[in-house]
Each structure stands twice: as structure tokens, then as C-alpha cells.
Structure 1
């Protein structure tokens, strides 16, 4: 098995993010590796095709702040410093690849919801990360959390 030095854990900030974090953290601990977290926000203009005749910057700022608060909550129990918590705006797979290259990451850990067929081809961030990565990628199967 490879000796990893820097593990980048990509999270979508949902309730299931801890499943991806736990797996990435365990691998990092076994390798005495640095751990970073990343969440990529798609710009609102992408989501709406730029067809909305209004300024979305204040909404984008609110989404950015919410993401920063949430990633900070996820990082706190792991003692991941703020400079290793990354919120980036752009296409998730591209932003993950860019940060991985910039930070000399040798393992990217992403969640996979186990979709099949067209949804896998058309919308899976984990597939995009896998196909463009210059390092190892681990896709962690996400299990839906049961509500109590």
C-alpha cells in the first residue's frame, strides 16, 4: 500500500459527510498524513444559466458563509486547522483537481451515492474527480442515514 502524505477529503456538507471524513481520517492516521477538507460551491450563475436579471452576489456570499460554518463544524473534532479547510467556488471536480495539484495531495477521498446509468454519467462529482485526478482517488460508498 502507498504511503500517503496528504489526504484531501471532499465533502458535500450533507449529514452523510461524516462517513467520508471517517474513512479519509482513518487512512490519514495509518499513514501519519496531513488531512485537508474541501467543499466546492457551484456559482449560482451556473445553476441558473445566467438568465436571472438580478445580482446574486449577496446570496452567493450567504451560501459561502454557510459552507464555511459547516466545514468548520466538521473539522473541529478532527483538529483540522482553518488553513486546511477549503471552500472554493466553481465546478466541484475541477476545483478538487486544482487544489489537489496545488497542495501536492496524493489521495483524494470522495463520497459516492452508488448511482447507476445516466445519472452516474451525467451528474456524479465522484466520477468527475476520478477521471481527472493525477493521484489516487477513494470513492466511499454512502449509506443513507436512517431517521430515528
Structure 2
């Protein structure tokens, strides 16, 4: 059923909750976890006005991504789960869906945070993935008490 589970991970608390659920699911099913870190440079023109070194910024994001995926890999290892890491650059929701579809993932497992009324109106990465993915999405939501 689920042999390849995509776990998008950015190191945030809500992403960690989703990632841990994905790892537990993979352990129960004997599946491989594919952890994806998306390098997102939101508002690049604004950021570049402050810094003229876009490549250095990308490298810093990549280094951070490698660190958080390595930490998540330790959790996967503790659960005896096969674990692979992947990196993409772009808008997180678009890159997550594109990766899942292009790499034949069986499910996407991600966390979502309680955002209140305005956050629900605007939508977040998880909401966008749920709305646009042809791959089944499992969302592990944090409650207001978890924040």
C-alpha cells in the first residue's frame, strides 16, 4: 500500500510532528521515508536588497536543511526505517507536490499548525498540498495547546 512515504521537513515544530508520524507509519508498514527539504527564498528581491549574495544564502539554507534532515534521520534510524533525503528549491507546496508525483510517492505526511481565523483564510503549505496533490496526503495537526 505505502512503500514510499514523502515527509516534507523544514525543522519547525509542526513539521516535526508530521515527520514523526510519517516515520512511525513507515515503521509499521515497512516503508521508506523520503525526507524533502525545500529551499525557499521568499521575497528574494527584498532579501537581496539586504544581501547581495544569493548563492551564499542558498548555501546557508542548504546547510540548515542538511542539519535538520540529519537529525530527522536519527529518529528514522531509531525506528529502523529506511531513510532518504532530497532537496528542492522553490515554492514549498509546489515542490512537494511535484516531487511526490514525479518520484511516485505513495503518500505525503506533513504537519500543520493551528493558525487561527486569518491563517485558515490565507492557507498554508499543508492546505495547498492537500488541495493540489493527486497523491494521498496525511496531515498531522498541532493543537493550540501544542504551540
The two structures have a TM-score, normalised by structure 1, of: 0.81
Contact 1:6 1:107 in 2 (8 A): yes
DSSP 3-state at the match of 2:114:
coil
Corresponding residue number in structure 2 for 1:24: 22
Looking at structure 1, the residues matched to 120 and 87 of structure 2 have their Cα atoms a distance apart, in angstroms, of 24
Unaligned runs of 5+ in 2: none
Looking at structure 2, the residues matched to 7 and 131 of structure 1 have their Cα atoms a distance apart, in angstroms, of 18
Residue 118 of structure 2 corresponds to residue 118 of structure 1: yes
Corresponding residue number in structure 2 for 1:33: 31
DSSP 3-state at the match of 1:52:
helix
- Give the drift of 1:138: 0.8
- From the two aligned structures, give the one with the greater helix fraction: 2
Corresponding residue number in structure 1 for 2:87: 87
Show the 5 A alignment for 1:1-148: 3-43=1-41, 46-49=42-45, 52=49, 54-79=52-77, 84-143=84-143
Contact 1:109 1:139 in 2 (8 A): yes
Which is further off, 126-135 or 58-67? 58-67
RMSD of equivalent CA atoms:
2.4
The two structures have a TM-score, normalised by structure 2, of: 0.81
How many residue pairs were aligned? 141
